[in-house]
Amino acid sequence: MSLPAELRDGRIGRFPVWAIGVVLAGLIIGFLFIRNRNRNATPEQTDASVPGDGAADSVAGIPTSDFADQISSNFPANVSLAPAPQRPLTNAQWLIAAFDYLVSLAKNPITAQRALQKYLAGEQLTEEERGLVELATANNNISLPPEGANLPPAGTQPPPGSSTPPASTPAPTSAVANAGENLYMWAQAQGVDFVVLFGEYKGDPRALNPTARSYMHWDKSNPKVPTFTSSRTVRLR
């Protein structure tokens, strides 16, 4: 088999054989470069089109358990409820709680305090004062005084317009002040001024209890609040 005369002369048509070889080699290299670039770009485009780690995060727009776990981790597992308020354990605590409750209802502080103190002392109440006491005792967190009140016996309330004072139980001559009680408020609950009970300084001879200040603790965070370090019986009259 004999080659054409052009090949024997190193030419194909008007072009040398080596020139045609260079062109074919360039075309092959360009084709391989374009194919490799498209192949490398396909995974990146696929990853960018799928959120997160792939299609496991959602199915038809509905979050899967993995997505729900991520959301739930932003919230605490246990939510503790605030403890229920404790009812007063002493009449002094009851007086403070009832007073604060009435003031929170925009009642006159002076009238509210007078009504509550008169109620504890068993004194006759006006209609307005009786309404304040009934409003306070209707609150389940306050209710009636835990140590009772010096209420007058039944049937001793005079009829409207009568000037005859009601019979009342004699006021006690002493009372127990529990440890940690605010003695200012405790004295008010007994219907006696703090200075009358304890004097203006330790050993004040004018006080009903001149040695009581020696057993008092004055809160460092609020030096104006005195308390007893242990329960003590205090003379009231």
Across the 237 residues of the chain, what is the mean pLDDT of every consecutive 10-residue run?
57 68 80 76 50 51 56 54 68 90 91 91 90 88 81 48 54 84 85 86 86 82 77 85
Count H helices, E strands: the chain?
Answer: 8, 8
Is 114 inside any structural domain? yes
What's the Cα-to-Cα distance from 170 to each of 92, 152, 237, rounded to whole Å? 20, 10, 12
Is 50 inside any structural domain? no
Distance of alpha carbon 134 from alpha carbon 187, whole angstroms: 23
- Same domain, residue pair 128 and 183: no
Going by C-beta distance under 8 Å and a sequence separation of 6 or more, which residues neighbour residue 68? none
- pLDDT given for residue 227 in this prediction: 87
Helix axes 91-104, 109-121, angle to 10 degrees: 150
Going by C-beta distance under 8 Å and a sequence separation of 6 or more, which residues neighbour residue 132? 102, 107, 111, 112, 115, 116
Amino acid letter, residue 95: L
Domain count, the chain: 3
Is 65 inside any structural domain? no
- pLDDT given for residue 232 in this prediction: 84
- Same domain, residue pair 141 and 111: yes
- pLDDT given for residue 12 in this prediction: 62
Is 19 inside any structural domain? yes
Distance of alpha carbon 102 from alpha carbon 57, whole angstroms: 56
- Same domain, residue pair 149 and 181: no
Is 69 inside any structural domain? no
Domain range for 1: 1-31
- pLDDT given for residue 175 in this prediction: 87
Global pTM exceeds 0.85? no
